Amino acid sequence: MLLGAALRFNDLGEMRDLLDYDEAYNGLDALSLLEIPRFTPFFEANNGRESLWMYLLAPALELWGAQPFTLRFVAACMGILTLAAVYALARELAGSRAALWSSGALAVLYWHVHLSHLAFRALLYPLIGTLAIALLLRAQRFNRGWIGAGFMSGLLLYTYFGARLWVLLAGLLLMWWWIRVPQQRRGITRALAVMVITALPLALYTLQNPDAALGRVGDQATLDVPAILESARLWLNAWLFQGSTYAFHNPIGRPILDLPLALLVVAGLAALIIQRNRRAGVFIGVLALLALLPSLLSLDAPHFLRAIGLVIPVALVAGIGAEQWLRVFHRWRMPLRTRLLPLALILVSAGITYHDFSTWARDFEPPGGNGYKLAHTNALVAALSDDQPLYLYNVTLDDPVLRFMLAPYHPTTLPLFNFPNCTAGPDGAFRYLAPLDYTPHPDDPAAQWAQTRLLLRDLSGQPAGFGYSLYQAESPPVIKSPSLGDGLQADLLNFADDHAQPGDTLDISIRFRAAADLNQPYTAFIHLTREGQLIAQTDVPICPDYPTDQWQTGQAANQTCTLTLPDDLATGDYALIIGAYDSQSLQPAGEAVTVGTITVE
């Protein structure tokens, strides 16, 4: 257990910035359970996924926050627990000594160590499946514990689509025992009932939504005989020569077995064929075939994730091989150092696994366009660490990696820069994400809204299109900031004592701010007066596309108001006055305020 834990926690820090498309989707669904607690047997996004993994991720995300490490830590823990589960199953099939060696073999098996670093729901398949089968065999042996065995068998359905064949095996075992062992029928009936009740929500969901629940299986499955034969050839080759070429699942081409484990597996196969424990051999063979079928009958073989259940039969066979090796050495009265050979093989295999995974974690570069992204998490977190509001400028959240990274900062979808006659956004400094090809320019509403500067540019997703730019936006200098009443304030951005001529049109930039929640839609007015007499005026609804009664405290809108001077205006000084009134009742918001003087020449 300690050896397996060391290998599975190794290099989690090296992977702190690495997040896969599918892993991010799992994290987002788990976060949604924290935001809206609910029971759902299935998540339909990203080709559909069973829900148990997301329910296990949710408390960890609540505790440690949305970051890749949180997802991977949970995955590593599930991988470590599987070592104990395989011990329980091997003890039922081959005794406690073989069980110890089986747990040791799984502890160092590169296939399982690698996938225990990745936050995929498939990792629950070998854990829950192994526990389910072990509890069933134990319940049948002692005629007790049937309820727990039935529950675990039903729970297996919620792990991964490939696990459905092991669920079917569990059901067939219970029905076979019900026929063959009449004295156990009461307990078996309880197990079947609990299994059906546990599996019922997902079963009903599948009947009601077959396209969602079975769509991924239909897309990837094949019954073409030449394709299946080619898959079988690739799988035979994968054991010692050419493994999976999915770069994220396996160092490209690394075979399943290194030489030390291959020796133990060969010894185990020989023992199962020659020795009298054929029950274990048949059972392990059935488990292996059912685990292999989802990859054998689909595209892209050898697919290590789809056949992840196969790690359990491999560990069982290797464990039986190590135990048989020791039995033979003991019979031949070999010296003690020779009897330690199985332990030496496992330790050597551990060293190989450690080296291969550390190399992969250090050198892996996700290929663009294949759903991967090396997220610059540290740079993004550092840029957002001062809790400034984060807004999105023409950046879609289709990329789940970006969405998961931004989850701690709750980016608002306030339509900043989107209105034709005003610009709405936050009152004060903020950060905003923009596409890589975006650059602020003088006519851009972003530049009119605030003074901007580039903080960082993430090119890691190129050419897949995941890249982004992060900008800092600071409010421009304010000339005057009068209160118009009822929590409405007006920041004069570009106008003070000025000069004009008769017939001129004045462009006056104002940022209207909500110092408190505004309950009415307001209209602003600008008056030009001389000695108390109204000379010219303009009335402008404040951001009619996003009226002030929808604003929250701290929001604001930039608006350019125009005031046209009369053609026959006499020379002299005129007062510029700003005020506001309720657009519906026409009641004034407060006292109008003189904000400047215009000298007409």
**Amino acid 37: pLDDT:** 95
**Amino acid 374: pLDDT:** 44
Q: Which residue do the tokens 């010692």 mark?
A: 240
Distance CA 122, CA 129 (A): 11
pTM passes above 0.95: no
- Enter the tokens of residue 451: 């003074």
Highest average pLDDT, of 34-43, 385-394, 402-411, 437-446, comes from 34-43
Least confident of 263-277, 388-402, 451-465: 451-465
CA 468 to chain centroid, in Å, comes to: 19
* Statement: 483-600 belongs to CATH 2.60.40.2550: yes
HEC per residue, 359-419? HHHHHCCCCCCCCEEECCHHHHHHHCCCCCCEEECCCCCCCHHHHHHHHHHCCECCCCCCC
**Amino acid 532: pLDDT:** 87
Distance CA 481, CA 488 (A): 10
Please compute the mean of the pLDDT values over residues 12-35 and round it to a whole number: 90
Least Cα distance to 156 among 210, 113, 98, 195 occurs for 195
Confidence of residue 156 (pLDDT cuts 50, 70, 90): very high
- Enter the tokens of residue 239: 């054991």
Please compute the mean of the pLDDT values over residues 56-60 and round it to a whole number: 97
- Enter the tokens of residue 423: 């610009």
Q: Which residues pair with 456 in a beta bridge?
A: 470
Residue scoring higher pLDDT (125 or 414): 125
- Enter the tokens of residue 559: 């608006």
In terms of C-beta density within 10 A (0-12 exposed, 13-18 middle, 19 or more buried), how is residue 88 classed?
middle
Distance CA 107, CA 89 (A): 15
For residues 324-356, one letter each, b for 16 or more C-beta atoms within 10 angstroms of the residue's C-beta and e for the rest, the string is bbbeebeeeeeeeeeeebbeebbeebbeebbeb
Residues 165-214: tens digit of each pLDDT:
999 999 999 999 999 999 999 999 999 999 999 999 999 999 999 988 88
Average pLDDT of the chain, as a whole number: 87
- Enter the tokens of residue 97: 């000594």
Least confident of 31-35, 279-283, 308-312, 461-465: 461-465
Least confident of 145-154, 164-173, 535-544: 535-544
Residues 206-244: tens digit of each pLDDT:
999 998 888 777 777 888 899 999 999 999 999 999 999
Distance CA 76, CA 119 (A): 9
Residues 329-384: tens digit of each pLDDT:
666 666 656 668 899 999 999 999 999 999 999 888 665 433 344 445 556 666 77
